[in-house]
Structure 1
Amino acid sequence: MTTPTVSFEFFPPRNLDASFRLWDTARALAPLGPDFVSVTYGAGGTTRQLTHEAVTALSNHYGLNVAAHLTCVDASREETMQIVDEYAAAGVREIVALRGDAAQGQATWSAHPEGFASSVELIEAIAKRGDIAIRVGAYPEPHPDSPDTAADVAFLKRKVDAGATSAITQFFFDADTFFRFRDACAAAGISTPILPGILPIQSWTGARKFAARCGTSVPDWAVAAFEAAGKEGEAALAQDLCVKLCRDLLAGGAEQLHFYTLNKPDLTLAVCRELGVAEKGLAA
Structure 2
Amino acid sequence: MLDVSDIGQLLREGGRSFSFEFFPPKDAEGEEVLWRSISELESLHPTFVSVTYGAGGTTRERTVAITRRIAAQTSMLPMAHLTCVGHTTEELGGVVEDLRRAGIHNVLALRGDPPGGPGTPWAPTPGGLEYAADLVAFVRDQGLTVGVAAFPEGHRDAPSLEHDAQVLKAKYDAGAAFAITEMVLRVSDYTGLVGRAASVGANLPIVPGIMPILGLGSMRAMVRLSGREMPTEILDRIRPLEDDPAALRAEGIRIATELCERLLEAGAPGLHFYTLNRSTATREIFAALPVPV
Is the Cα contact below 8 Å between 2:205 and 2:269 reproduced in 1?
no
The CA deviation string for residues 147-200 of structure 1, in whole angstroms up to 9 with x for no partner, is 121111100000000000000011121111101111111111121100011111
C-alpha distance in structure 2 between counterparts of 1:252 and 1:27, whole Å: 31
Is the Cα contact below 8 Å between 2:60 and 2:95 reproduced in 1?
no
1:152 aligns with 2:170: no
The CA deviation string for residues 189-246 of structure 1, in whole angstroms up to 9 with x for no partner, is 1211000111112222111000000123311121121111234211110110000000
37-46 or 257-266: which moved more?
A: 37-46
2:268 to 244, 254, 262: 254
C-alpha distance in structure 1 between counterparts of 2:145 and 2:90, whole Å: 20
Partner in structure 2 of residue 171 of structure 1? 183
C-alpha distance in structure 2 between counterparts of 1:81 and 1:119, whole Å: 15
C-alpha distance in structure 2 between counterparts of 1:237 and 1:276, whole Å: 17
Cα 1:241–1:57, aligned 2, differ >3 Å: closer, same or farther? Answer: same
C-alpha distance in structure 1 between counterparts of 2:142 and 2:220, whole Å: 40
Identity %: 34
Is the Cα contact below 8 Å between 1:8 and 1:38 reproduced in 2?
yes
2:279 to 250, 265, 280: 265
Q: Name the aligned partner's letter for residue 90 of structure 1.
A: A
Partner in structure 1 of residue 137 of structure 2? 124
The residue correspondences of 1:206-245 to structure 2 (distance < 5 A) are 206-232=218-244, 233-245=247-259
Q: How large is the Cα RMSD of the aligned pairs?
A: 1.8
104-113 or 144-153: which moved more?
A: 104-113
Is the Cα contact below 8 Å between 1:6 and 1:256 reproduced in 2?
yes
Q: Name the aligned partner's letter for residue 66 of structure 2.
A: A
Normalised to the residue count of structure 1, the TM-score between the two structures is 0.92
Is the Cα contact below 8 Å between 2:172 and 2:204 reproduced in 1?
yes
The alpha carbon displacement at 1:43 in A equals 2.1
The alpha carbon displacement at 1:39 in A equals 0.5
Normalised to the residue count of structure 2, the TM-score between the two structures is 0.90
Is the Cα contact below 8 Å between 2:52 and 2:63 reproduced in 1?
yes
Question: How many pairs are equivalent?
Answer: 276
153-162 or 136-145: which moved more?
A: 136-145
C-alpha distance in structure 2 between counterparts of 1:177 and 1:64, whole Å: 30
56-65 or 165-174: which moved more?
A: 56-65
Gap runs ≥5 in structure 1: 280-284
1:113 aligns with 2:131: no
Specify which structure has the bigger relative contact order, considering alpha-carbon pairs within 8 angstroms and separated by 6 or more residues.
1
